[in-house]
Amino acid sequence: MTATEPRPRIEAGREPDVLTYIWNLPNFDKLPGQPEKILDAIDKFNTERNRLINIGPRKGPVIEKIIEEKKPSIMVELGCYVGYSAIRFGNAVRRAGGKKYYSLEINPINASVAKLLVELAGLQDIVTIIVAPSYEGLAKLVHESLIESVEILFVDHVKHRYVLDLWLVEQLGILQPGKSVIIADNISPSNSRGTDYMDWLHASTAEKEATLAQHAFTDDFGGVELAKLIKEKGVKKTGLDLSNVPGTGTYSYETKLHEFEGHSGRTDGVAITNVL
């Protein structure tokens, strides 16, 4: 077994300042239960005070349109941050008649800010924030039978985990061919961002097998039915290093890239992938 990936140091940055900003707004009394007004306030904080790294008002509508079309019952997000996307997309899932938006966040300070803002937006029944590294959070969702499958997966946490967590999701068997959609932020092959992720999505079965073989996985996952094992034993007791699970190599994907002009003038993109 390999040691589980070390947790990053937890630090409070500019994120809690959003709470000070919002709670001091002259129109604060008009905000409770108003997701759009809270998103506007976070957008204003972004332009007037300090830059945050949330999905923002340009990319947001592209993803909301997919939610409107797909009408997911359940959507899962990796990377909650201060809850901007959870408020925006949780509200869209609710409008589309869906039941749950699970948001996984490793940093308890960011998660605490997000929980307060989600509550202020009146979305606490639909948005559940799980404070854990993405791979543990995903396993918890499966173990506690909170999800059987994921209709929309929004990947927006940290680049080096995009491929690894997609591989874990494959092993967990929660993608539905012909139905599930994976949305990944900050993919821009022209800037060499997310090329390993795009390579995995576009690889042939033989190329995927070669990638899996090349990858430095040390656990033997051969024949392990991961979802079954996690359901029976729980998240911590599988004896497997969940931060290091290779995928199956058998899924096929079709991806469209939506590119945007980034804040720094560099192109940035959102990859929208249908599971075939």
The size of the interface with ligand SAM (CB under 6 A), counted in residues, is: 19
* The binder of ligand SAM chosen from 107, 128, 171, 244 (CB under 6 A): 107
Strand partners, 134: none
Asked whether position 90 contacts ligand SAM by CB under 6 A, the answer is no
Nearer to ligand SAM, 15 or 151 (CB): 15
| Cβ–Cβ under 8 Å, residues 111 and 187 | no
CA nearest neighbour of 245 among 174, 145, 148: 174
| Cβ–Cβ under 8 Å, residues 25 and 40 | no
| Cβ–Cβ under 8 Å, residues 177 and 188 | no
For residue 140, give Cα distances in angstroms to 125, 145, 234. 19, 8, 7
**Can you tell me the distance from the alpha carbon of 225 to that of 107, in angstroms, rounded to the nearest whole number?**
30
Minimum separation from the CB atom of position 232 to ligand SAM (A):
24
Name the segment binding ligand SAM (CB under 6 A); options: 68-76, 79-87, 189-197, 218-226.
79-87
Helices (H) and strands (E) in the chain, counts: 10, 7
Asked whether position 273 contacts ligand SAM by CB under 6 A, the answer is no
Query: At how many degrees (to 10) do helices 226-233 and 162-172 cross?
Result: 80
Asked whether position 110 contacts ligand SAM by CB under 6 A, the answer is yes
* The binder of ligand SAM chosen from 157, 166, 184, 208 (CB under 6 A): 157
* The binder of ligand SAM chosen from 128, 134, 211, 273 (CB under 6 A): 134
Minimum separation from the CB atom of position 199 to ligand SAM (A):
21
**Can you tell me the distance from the alpha carbon of 237 to that of 36, in angstroms, rounded to the nearest whole number?**
42
* The binder of ligand SAM chosen from 151, 156, 170, 268 (CB under 6 A): 156
Draw the binding track, 37-76, toward ligand SAM (x: CB under 6 A; -: no contact): ----------------xxx---------------------
Nearer to ligand SAM, 87 or 198 (CB): 87
Minimum separation from the CB atom of position 141 to ligand SAM (A):
13
| Cβ–Cβ under 8 Å, residues 35 and 121 | yes
Q: List residues binding ligand SAM (CB under 6 A).
A: 53-55, 78-79, 81, 84-85, 104-107, 110, 133-134, 156-158, 161
